[in-house]
Amino acid sequence: MCGIVGYIGDKKAVEFLIEGLTKLEYRGYDSAGIAVNCGLNIFVEKAVGRLDALKEKLKNREPEGNIGIGHTRWATHGRPSDSNAHPHTDCSGKFVVVHNGIIENYMALKEDLISRGHKFISETDTEVVPHLLEELYNGNFLESVQKVLNKIEGSYSLVFMSKDNPDTLICAKQDNPLVVGLGKGENFIASDIPAIISKTRDTYILNDGEIAVVKKDSVKIFNRKGEPVGKKIFHVSWNAEAAEKGGYEHFMLKEINEQPKAVRDTMSKRILKDDSAVILEELNWDKKFLDDINKIYIVACGTAYHAGLVGKFYIEKLARKLVEVDLASEYRYRDPIVDENTLVIVISQSGETSDTLAALKESKRLGAKTLAVTNVVGSSIAREAEFVIHTWAGPEIAVASTKAYTTQLILMFMLALYMAEIGKTISPERTKELIDLLKKIPAQISETLSDVDPIKTFARQYGFNEDVFYIGRSLDYDVALEGALKLKEISYIHAEAYASGELKHGTLALIVEGVPVIALATQKSVYEKTLSNIKEVKARDAVVIGIAAEGDTELEKYLDHVIFVPNTDELLIPLLAVVPLQLLAYYAAITRGCDVDKPRNLAKSVTVE
């Protein structure tokens, strides 16, 4: 995820900029850059790759100025490159901007600016911002920035620097973090606290809609209407390690809590303004393209494979196309029946998983059309596939995948809707209904995350059991598989997921008194059947924890413990039902004293076979 730093004071800005960006390296990035106001001109330098590449470019030519901004970029719009790296400038080189987030209406703004003679050099959404400032500048820096903010839609933390205002940085926040660090005779700006805590622990944490005018001796904050905001200083007491995790004990917990934003970002710009359709500009498929496809494979590993299982359900249900899901490590040696009428969809958070990459290459060799769903722009899988759609989850650092899974589900859902719209297998009314519900999911995930105490209690109670079973039918079974994987990989508890209907074909023999069973019962279409399976395990004296949708009054009659998630369409409920399972795994691992972020024997990116 992108990182932002800014400095204004009496020292050489470049020193803090590089130090601050180094502190943000843990967040992941693919390029970096700085800009320093040197009086006569604004010095800008950027480099694709690690910070060392930028440092190398700065050797023996470090700018002297005392006001500057810097950025590490995690590519979303446009591949990692020098020209796509931030800071971005206007045509005159007088205005410079760094940005985290997504400018949703950048295409329309860009076209308009081009028609007014502006020249763009990058593929990014951000570049419209300095050009807009150039266009709207009236001699008053703050007023002009406010005008820019009124024109842009989307999410951002932005820092603006202007050659003609060498005593001021202006920053603004909407849906992305931004903090101003208060020094003596100097002030700092950062997207994240780790960048500044070696300099100061006194900060203003900006809220959405706020703009800060930062000078070396003062910081003034305004709201959307331009009214001054009286803000309390937030004193940071975290140590450097805790600060990297945003105050959470582990990256996994931080990433679980980032899901509302990750999911919202992944949806953004992909829904038509009137909520009537999904738009996947990256694909541009038409009816003929879809009609020519007679078989779809989804191929992936681990959690991404589980997302693929849900994806199969979505595509079959909505787009009425037959889908097979395969583990990449099996598929590549299966001699798969694939030709030019096959669409192979590979899902991979990292975009580097060796088995998935090999499966993709094999599919291409056999002539298939290929689509990658990945979180990393410019990754091997993104480069190899014919089509790519990105999840915008930001970097996932914990080995256990959480926000990658939910964003993959979002994209698979949107892909299925997109295909259904083209193939006319869904009515406009149903599309609208699903899109309305989809847009509520981020808030519903937040709601699910707000009540963790019962989950902590269960984890403490059952965290020392050696076996845990997960059961469910239909989409609940797919989510059960993911829940069991989470528990296995970070708590080392033996966990197995079973399709509830399969219990009596073998597994029921393992269900004895006191064995914990997590029973998912969110799918209305199979609810009665699910209930009778739950009764089967309950009758064997298992300890059953139910996961149900709010409004379910039945399950509690039979079970001692039920965790409720907000109600929505049964297609979308996996996005909510998985959250308590992630938390259960997390707290079970804590109970057992496991190394949550780096479980034994596992690596984040599996680049070997």
Nearer to ligand M6R, 89 or 349 (CB): 349
Q: Which is nearer to ligand M6R, 211 or 493 (CB)?
A: 493
Residue 353 is classified by DSSP as: -
The DSSP string of 403-463 is HHHHHHHHHHHHHHHHHHHHHT-S-HHHHHHHHHHHHHHHHHHHHHHT--HHHHHHHHHHT
Site membership for ligand M6R, residue 548 (CB under 6 A): no
- Interaction between residue 301 and ligand M6R (CB under 6 A): yes
Rule CB under 6 A: say whether 606 interacts with ligand M6R: yes
Q: For residue 527, give Cα distances in angstroms to 311, 315, 482, 522, 559.
A: 21, 22, 20, 7, 15
Residues 498, 599 contacting (CB under 8 angstroms): no
Print the binding letters for residues 100-139 with ligand M6R: x by CB under 6 A, - otherwise. Answer: ----------------------------------------
For the packed helices 403-423 and 428-449, what is the interaxial angle rounded to 10 degrees?
170
In contact, 22 and 55? CB cutoff 8 Å: no
For the bound state, the minimum distance from the C-beta of residue 530 to ligand M6R, rounded and expressed in Å, comes to: 26
Residues 164 and 134: beta-carbon distance below 8 Å: no
Residues 225-284 that bind ligand M6R (CB under 6 A): none
523 binds ligand M6R (CB under 6 A): no
Nearer to ligand M6R, 468 or 543 (CB): 468
Does 500 engage in binding with ligand M6R (CB under 6 A)?
Answer: no
Any contact of residue 400 with ligand M6R (CB under 6 A)?
yes
435-to-392, 440, 441, 453 alpha-carbon distances in Å: 18, 9, 10, 31
* Contact flag: residue 298 with ligand M6R (CB under 6 A): no
Q: Which of 66, 168, 348, 530 binds ligand M6R (CB under 6 A)?
A: 348
**Which helix (H) or strand (E) segment is 254 a member of?**
helix 251-257
According to the binding rule CB under 6 A, does residue 303 interact with ligand M6R? yes
Q: Which of 259, 349, 407, 474 binds ligand M6R (CB under 6 A)?
A: 349
The two beta strands, 42-48 and 31-37, are antiparallel
As measured in angstroms, the least distance from the Cβ of 391 to ligand M6R is 10
- Give the C-alpha separation, 375 to 371, whole Å: 13
Q: CA-CA distance, 389 to 372, in Å (whole number)?
A: 6
We find the least distance from the C-beta atom of residue 357 to ligand M6R, in angstroms, to be: 9
- For residue 348, the minimal CB distance to ligand M6R (Å) is 3
Instruction: Answer yes or no whether residue 304 interacts with ligand M6R by CB under 6 A.
Output: yes
Cβ at position 158, least distance to ligand M6R in Å: 30
If one asks whether residue 388 binds ligand M6R (CB under 6 A), the answer comes out as no
Among residues 6, 302, 336, 574, the one that binds ligand M6R under rule CB under 6 A? 302
Which CB, 309 or 543, lies closer to ligand M6R?
Answer: 309
Structure tokens at 372: 């990658």
Residue number with the smallest Cβ distance to ligand M6R: 302
190 binds ligand M6R (CB under 6 A): no
Among 384, 489, 552, 570, binds ligand M6R (CB under 6 A): 489
Render the burial of 441-460: b for 16+ CB within 10 Å, e for the rest: bbebbebbbeebebbbebbe
> What positions carry a catalytic annotation?
2, 604
Size, binding site for ligand M6R by CB under 6 A: 16
Separation between Cα atoms, residue 379 and residue 607, nearest integer Å = 12
Closest separation in Å from C-beta 599 to ligand M6R:
8
Integer Cα distance of 4 and 21 in angstroms: 7
Q: Which stretch binds ligand M6R (CB under 6 A): 115-123, 175-183, 394-402, 510-518?
A: 394-402
Q: How far is the CB of 128 from ligand M6R (least distance, A)?
A: 32
Question: Least CB distance from residue 202 to ligand M6R, whole Å?
Answer: 38
Taking the C-alpha atoms of residue 34 and residue 14, their distance in angstroms, rounded to an integer, is 8
- Least distance in angstroms from the C-beta of 350 to ligand M6R: 3
CB-CB contact of 475 with 313 (8 Å): yes
Q: Which range binds ligand M6R by CB under 6 A, 92-100, 124-132, 342-350, 461-469?
A: 342-350
Residue 151: C-alpha distances to residues 49, 105, 483 (Å): 32, 9, 43
CB 194 within 8 A of CB 243: yes
- Interface region with ligand M6R, contact rule CB under 6 A, candidates 167-175, 334-342, 348-356, 500-508: 348-356
Determine if 487 is a binding residue for ligand M6R (CB under 6 A): no
**Which residues within the stretch 350-369 sit at the binding site for ligand M6R (CB under 6 A)?**
350, 353, 356
- Interface with ligand M6R includes 478 (CB under 6 A)? no
Q: For residue 6, which of 218, 181, 202, 268 has the smallest C-alpha distance? A: 181
Is the four-CA dihedral 244, 248, 249, 252 of positive or negative sign? negative
Q: Is 97 left (phi over 0), alpha (psi -120 to 50) or beta?
A: beta
Q: b/e for 371-400, b at 16 or more Cβ within 10 A?
A: bbbbbbbbbbbbebbebbbbbbbbbbbbbb
Contact residues for ligand M6R, defined by CB under 6 A: 301-304, 348-350, 353, 356, 399-401, 485, 489, 605-606
